A and B are shown apart, each in its own frame.
Chain A
Amino acid sequence: MNDLALAVRQIGYENRAFWRNPPAAFFTFVFPLLFMVIFNVLFGAEAAAFFTPAIIVFGVVTATYTNLAMTVTIARDDGILKRIRGTPLPGWAYLAGRIGHAVLIAFLLTVIVAAFGALVYAIDVPWSALPAALLVLAVSAAAFSALGLALSGFIPNSDAAPAVVNATVLPVLFISNVFIQMENAPAWLDTVSHLLPVRHFADAMMALYASGADASLPWTELGVIALWGVIGVVAALRFFSWEPRR
């Protein structure tokens, strides 16, 4: 088997293991919908146009960044990564399997949230902007996966994983046009949020949802997200660890 086939096969095993824990799988998909319902109840039905793309962003960030940082840290502590390191499987092929599965879940979540928005809140899926949306989703999923792997290198052990991961992701979601609209935010906070990747992902998805037929590629946003992806890859290469740290 060549290495690429091994990586794809690894996605299959990750996927199989994922669905064998039905409560975990179920809440992975229901969690974002729950937020969507609550926000729409709190802010009224007119907010659905904002929250449909926003919750897609939330779902993708959670499925890639949060999920990978936590599960990879746990796998490292359990010695799963060290065992893989002693086999001929190239490290990148193993991680590609984990990332591939995370991206798969992110796309599935996107479809579910978009369908929920269309069916329940009549927020039409922006079909004409689909190619651009897929590109934004792909670049973002890759970038947030890389950042998640990089973060795992800074988490000392699996007990610390939830605290560290949430502390890095939740505040960013709050200042990035995902949970709360940033139109009344002070200028300095707006500037800070524009330095981070989630804001650009959210603004890009929002623009594509609102664009209709004249959808153009959001180059600036894509550029910032990709730059953060590169930072993630470099940091992961430098700090990622295959050995448990105790």
Chain B
Amino acid sequence: MRAPETADPAPAAIEVRSLRKAYGEVEAVRGIDLRVARGEVFALLGPNGAGKTTTVEILEGHRQRSGGDASVLGHDPGRNERALRQRVGIVLQQTGVDGYLTVREVVQMVAGYYPHPRDTDEVLALTGLSDQANRRVRKLSGGQKRRVDLAVALAGDPELLFLDEPTTGFDPSARRQAWETVRGLAALGKTVFLTTHFMDEAQALADRLAIIADGRIVATGTPDELIGSGSAATRIRFRLPPSVEAPERFGAHRVASAWELETDTPTQSLHDLTAWSLETATELADLEVTRPSLEDVYLQLTAEEAAE
């Protein structure tokens, strides 16, 4: 594709402009722009049906786009070129392997398709499958099979890894383990493009993320930027003795047995509040200041999109 027109000297791993995909009358992806730098962990976050899988499958070469430009490691993914497939690893949402082969055989088989594969024992260790190496895939648990998916994607030592909802269906400890593996990949300098509908996953793993809703990107940035950019405010929460009302000027409202207020100037609000507390000798029990989470921003943004 064409060179990036920005001054940014770092070559992009993925660059997408005005990407569109229609299935008949239905537009699943409605003109999105994305740029993923090399070595970055990028998350595409969105609710089910927002267009995440369609987008990632276009970038993987599994689907043809209806419009717009896409470049993956300098290749057009729509051409399904072998030179590109040699540099990319893919974990699809649902895939199978021959259940009668052992874990090691499957990884070795796939490694043989690539010009410079990663050592099989290394791949097994990286995905926590060393102990299962000689077991047949059909005998593994669901979580272990998902790790085989990841091991197969890593077998060719790809520069870029696509993970489509890599932890859906995992129990909490398996999720943490998978996160550690993804962080390990980032440490190896791999570019990772993942989709997820878990806010905490995006927040925990992604250097940058984009929120997709109804086929459009509604926000993009680092997790911190997104939290800061949202109109979701800092929340201050406290309890008062039953007989005491919070003065109206604080804009606080009752939430169950506590009081809550939202503010864009948390230092000032907290200062006013504690000053009043000292003056009137009213204790602010269980005082709590919380920043908006990515979840708040996400729910707000996706709700706005749905309302339009």
Interface set of A (CB-CB < 8 Å, partner B): 1, 6, 9, 13, 16-18, 20-21, 75, 78-80, 82-83, 85-90, 243-244
Assess whether B96 is interfacial by the CB under 8 Å rule. yes
Assess whether B82 is interfacial by the CB under 8 Å rule. yes
Are A20 and B100 in contact, CB atoms less than 8 angstroms apart? yes
Given known pairs A88-B156, A90-B82, the reply for A80 and B62 (CB within 8 Å) is no
Are B156 and A83 in contact, CB atoms less than 8 angstroms apart? no
Are A17 and B86 in contact, CB atoms less than 8 angstroms apart? no
Given known pairs A13-B101, A17-B100, the reply for A87 and B110 (CB within 8 Å) is yes
Assess whether B173 is interfacial by the CB under 8 Å rule. no
Residue on B with the closest CB to A79?
B95
Assess whether B45 is interfacial by the CB under 8 Å rule. no
Are A16 and B101 in contact, CB atoms less than 8 angstroms apart? yes
The interface residues of chain B lying within 8 Å CB-to-CB of A6 are 112-113
Assess whether B119 is interfacial by the CB under 8 Å rule. no
The interface residues of chain A lying within 8 Å CB-to-CB of B95 are 78-80, 82-83
Name the residue in B110, B113, B156 with the highest tally of chain A Cβ atoms < 10 Å from its Cβ. Answer: B113
The interface residues of chain A lying within 8 Å CB-to-CB of B92 are 79, 82-83, 86
Contact with A along B94-119 (1 / 0, CB 8 A): 11111011000100011011110000
Residue on A with the closest CB to B93?
A79
Give B138 Cβ to nearest chain A Cβ, in Å: 10
9 CB contacts below 8 A, A to B, read A6-B113, A13-B98, A17-B100, A79-B94, A80-B95, A83-B152, A86-B60, A86-B62, A88-B85
Give B147 Cβ to nearest chain A Cβ, in Å: 15
The CA-CA distance from A199 to B98 in the complex, in Å, is 35
Residue on B with the closest CB to A90?
B82
The interface residues of chain B lying within 8 Å CB-to-CB of A82 are 62, 92, 95
* Contacts of B62-91 to chain A: CB distance below 8 A: 62, 82, 85-86, 88, 90
Are A80 and B101 in contact, CB atoms less than 8 angstroms apart? no
The CA-CA distance from A16 to B98 in the complex, in Å, is 10
The interface residues of chain B lying within 8 Å CB-to-CB of A88 are 82, 85-86, 113-115, 156
Interface size class of B (residues with CB under 8 A): 20 to 34
The interface residues of chain B lying within 8 Å CB-to-CB of A83 are 90, 92, 95-97, 152
Are B105 and A16 in contact, CB atoms less than 8 angstroms apart? yes
Assess whether B128 is interfacial by the CB under 8 Å rule. no
The interface residues of chain A lying within 8 Å CB-to-CB of B105 are 13, 16
Residue on B with the closest CB to A24?
B100
Are A80 and B112 in contact, CB atoms less than 8 angstroms apart? no
Assess whether B143 is interfacial by the CB under 8 Å rule. no
Assess whether B183 is interfacial by the CB under 8 Å rule. no
The interface residues of chain A lying within 8 Å CB-to-CB of B96 are 75, 78-80, 83
Assess whether B266 is interfacial by the CB under 8 Å rule. no
Assess whether B47 is interfacial by the CB under 8 Å rule. no
Assess whether B136 is interfacial by the CB under 8 Å rule. yes
Give A74 Cβ to nearest chain B Cβ, in Å: 9
The interface residues of chain B lying within 8 Å CB-to-CB of A89 are 113
Residue on B with the closest CB to A74?
B96
* Contacts of B117-172 to chain A: CB distance below 8 A: 136, 152, 156
Assess whether B221 is interfacial by the CB under 8 Å rule. no
The interface residues of chain B lying within 8 Å CB-to-CB of A21 are 100
Give B53 Cβ to nearest chain A Cβ, in Å: 12
The CA-CA distance from A87 to B60 in the complex, in Å, is 10
Give B303 Cβ to nearest chain A Cβ, in Å: 30
The CA-CA distance from A243 to B153 in the complex, in Å, is 18
The interface residues of chain A lying within 8 Å CB-to-CB of B60 are 86
Given contacts A83-B97, A87-B156, 9 further A-B pairs with CB under 8 A are A6-B112, A17-B100, A78-B96, A79-B96, A80-B97, A83-B152, A85-B62, A86-B88, A90-B82
Q: Which of B100, B101, B113, B136 lies in contact with A87, CB distance below 8 A?
A: B113
Assess whether B61 is interfacial by the CB under 8 Å rule. yes
Contact with A along B189-211 (1 / 0, CB 8 A): 00000000000000000000000
The interface residues of chain A lying within 8 Å CB-to-CB of B156 are 87-88
Residue on B with the closest CB to A13?
B109
Residue on A with the closest CB to B61?
A86
Are A80 and B85 in contact, CB atoms less than 8 angstroms apart? no
